Structure 1
Amino acid sequence: MSSIDDLFKKPAIPNNKRKLEPTRDPNEIYKSAKLSSNGHAKSNGHTAEVADDDDMEAGPSAPPEDEDYGPDIPDDDEGRFFGGGVTREENEILDYMDDQESAEIAPEKIDSAWLRKLALNFEKKITKNAELRAKFENEPQKFMGSEADLDSDIKALSILSEHPELYGDFAKLGCVGSLVGLLAHENTDIAIDAVEIISELTDEDVEAEEGQWNTLVDAMVDSDLLGLLVSNFGRFNEGNESDRSGVYHALSVLENMASRTSLAEKIGQDTKF
């Protein structure tokens, strides 16, 4: 019967450790490297030889041109794919969408119909602002929004300087008188905007015919442009940058008017600063 000590004895484990070669004397290693008769060291194995072949090309050789690779791919007559994996129908849809986007960004035609629409909106903004100012005289926060809208519409008139052929229609629609009348607006910023637009429309750089320019200027003079310009010189504060701009544009208007001899004489007689 085995004793308790025998049961708990560790089994013999084979010693598989790698045995190191005994250390060799360096002198013996040196002596063992004997040279062969042709001056080369002896080797244990066969020497690998590399064949130099400059004419050899890397990679697989190209297939012969006359090889049969099956039937050619048929043309896409049915319109299944129209380049880039897009079907013909999908391509037509994309073209349609592109055309729609181009139409949306197309510039608006500037003509008499456009001017009538512009004039109507302009007059509405003037009327609305005047009504709100009268109704909420002591509550400016209730009419300042309409004043900002009016300011935008005044500046939008600048484009007319590029279309002097519409000057006659602009005068007939009564917009010239309304624009000049804004020089008397309670808000000097509105008055300054109006003066600036008048200066642009009458500038000598505008490519207007003499008849077109005269029609516009006559309508302005009839609306008391000269008198309103003079009155604004009195209320503009040159210490304020915005007001200085108003003075500059007002003087520009007088200079533009003076390019016509009859108006130059009128300016000299009727305007007193």
Structure 2
Amino acid sequence: MKSVSLIKLIKPWQISRGVLLVLLLVLVIIGAVPGYLTGNWPWAKLPPVTNLQQIKVIRKTGIELSDWQTVEQQTIRIGGHKWSLQFIEQDQQKPVWLFLLPQNGPKSQPQVEWEDISGFMRQRLGQWKTDSYSQIKFVVNGSDVEEKTEADPTITTQPKSYPKSVVNARFFRGWNQRQTFAIVQWYAWPEGGNPAPSRWFWADQLAQLHRKRVPWVAVNIQIPIEPLGDLENYRPIAESLSKMVQTALMSDPFAEQASSIESIKDQGSKMKAQA
């Protein structure tokens, strides 16, 4: 008797659940069909990238770095994308190669930029090998950006605050029979940087929850060193120069966006405090 009554109870519940699922499916279809017919999917409308035009200018002008002189700057095509290539020098040393690829549009994402650079070097030098992979980690504080902003009269964007930027970059050696470089690579964005495209992706997804975006610039620094020289001897200059590049990006192209992202963090902190 108990089993029979249990079956009687289960069947109405199953029917109710089935009806509910059908109703939900109908609602989804009703909501999706207009978007499908017009091509205007709600989730396809990405928020705009603040300062996108200012960021794109990098490929034509490069960036200014304190105490470093730009010997030459050119726009070159690598892997189907237009990069800025700057040759910068300090104290009459061999010029450093600074490659920068700014985000080109709201849908462009970091993908295979490092493979493109390797292909370019093989094409240019005839042979290209890499080894001695490690990491460089550095932090750019808001005070670092403020100092550069105050010292550079060409920077007109003055956001209310600058976030702290934590960068993990890839550090390795690239070489052929004629030249050897200490190389640093990372995707830079206002609040940090990482050589892995996935790290930017998740940062951008989080920003989109607040109808914001995270702009990016691919950075590849190549410092000439002694033939097959010990990479660790060049870690200090590699870290110093990398920090200067990140600071330069945060102080101008990323400046307004940095202020917007900081406001997202402030809103989150207020919500936690109220809770």
**TM-score normalised by length of structure 2:** 0.18
**TM-score normalised by length of structure 1:** 0.18
Higher fraction of helix: 1
Greater relative CO, 1 or 2 (CA 8 Å, sep 6+):
2
Higher fraction of strand: 2
